[in-house]
Amino acid sequence: MTDDVLVRLRLDLAYHGAGFAGWADQPGLRTVQGELERWIAAVLRLPEPARVVCAGRTDAGVHARGQVVHVDLAAEVAGDGSTLLRRLNRALPDDLVVRTVRPAPPGFDARFAADWRRYSYRIVDGPIRPDPLIRHLVAHVREPLDLDRLNAAAATLLGLRDFGAFCRRREGATTIRTLLDFAGHRLDDGVIDLTVRADAFCHSMVRSLVGAVVAVGTGRRDLAWLQGIAATPVRDSSVQVMPAHGLTLEQVHYPPDDQLAARVAEARTTRSLP
């Protein structure tokens, strides 16, 4: 396939994370990347798997409604993406759905061209356990949550900073991020929906951020505790990493097509603080 003209396709997909050991391919484990690459190769009768690149590497148990990936295929195989879309939706398991497949614009990269990602974390608070019909999609916090306290805590974390206190370190990776939105509201059914939006996230960052503001919202911790942790970019064991099943990747946003290449170049540059 190396001698062929390659076409880059963009795929938008959704999955229920319970049956996956995360996004990234891992030998002997069922992962979203592994399933997708396997089925793309199978339905297109490729001699070898076609590597896919995602916008957000979700952890084991995390769901997605708005995951975006790209894949490079030989032009005669890729076409306009309609054949791949039709075949994948006949073949894929029920917990993985490809919503759209289309040719990517020049300069598109699912990971590096994204200018922000938005997650939702959903919580049922109080002594009554969640409705059985949604229990795989929401976390349970036994104490009542004060949303005013929670949102006041979340607001202090917005902006550009080193989020090392809320991330699991990876060798050579920076933990500097820009947190754009972080707030919760109660839905009509009583579920608390927290929106977390940033230019990018490091490992376990969303669930750790939620765990920190939940601790303030329940009254177990105060705002001074949170501010002290946030000021020191070293992983703090007192921050609870919330369960994975409450988290959903909702949306990945990209700039206009004529700005994609510039965004890729910017994203590949190591972040730094002023």
Annotation: binding site for substrate: 119
Rounded Cα distance between 215 and 225, Å, is: 10
| Contact by Cβ (8 Å): 193, 174 | no
List 96's β-bridge partners, or say none: 15
Rounded Cα distance between 111 and 268, Å, is: 10
| Annotation says 236 is catalytic | no
| Contact by Cβ (8 Å): 139, 121 | yes
For 110, 132, 159, 247, 272, the CA distances from 178, given in Å and listed in that order, are 19, 36, 5, 19, 11
Q: How many CB atoms lie within 10 A of CB 129?
A: 10
| Contact by Cβ (8 Å): 195, 183 | yes
| Contact by Cβ (8 Å): 246, 123 | yes
Comparing C-alpha atoms, which of 58, 62, 52, 67 is closest to residue 9? 52
Q: Among the options 4, 12, 25, 59, which is catalytic?
A: 59
Binding-site residues, please?
Answer: 119
Length of the chain in terms of residues written:
274
Residues recognised as catalytic: 59
